Amino acid sequence: MPTLAGTKLDKYDMLEEVGHGGMAVVYRALDGTLHREVAVKVLHAHLADREESRLRLQREAIAVAKLRHENILEIFDYSGTQAGESYIVTEFIHGPTLREWLDDDYTPRPAVAALVVHRLTLALMHAHKGGIVHRDIKPENVMIRREDGCIKLMDFGIAQILDNQKLTM
């Protein structure tokens, strides 16, 4: 599978691959217009040809872009449905995932665990108020910003977007 590292994707200089999942590859990139570091989540080529996958990425971009919360990864840009590559641009978090932190650095401390759960709960409450149910909460979808320990919930790829009628049910 070819990498986009070392190439340019629209206004983004793709610096290096930093992660991948079943739907996409994530790159650390530089926004050439705003001169800031970003993360670019690019849909896998074999999925980019499927309208369903492109629409799913679009739903994620539009829904999560409306969620402004300190514990939810912020979305800056989206490729649109007609672009050659389908991608979402988000803030770049320097730090480990919760999974990496638990595996490598965690010393059991109930107060720290309670703080992580509390911050995730606040993020989920905010998303739910916006009609979005994440549906994939796991340590791999949580980042910990190294500079201040801020918890960031990410990857709303399989989120369910509810309308008001479904919310009341």
- Catalytically active residues, by annotation: 147
Selection from 110, 119, 114 nearest residue 145 by Cα: 119
Convert 91-122 to b/e letters by CB count within 10 Å (16 or more is b).
Answer: bbbebbbbeebeeeeeeeeeeeeeebeebbeb
Distance between first and last Cα of the chain: 44
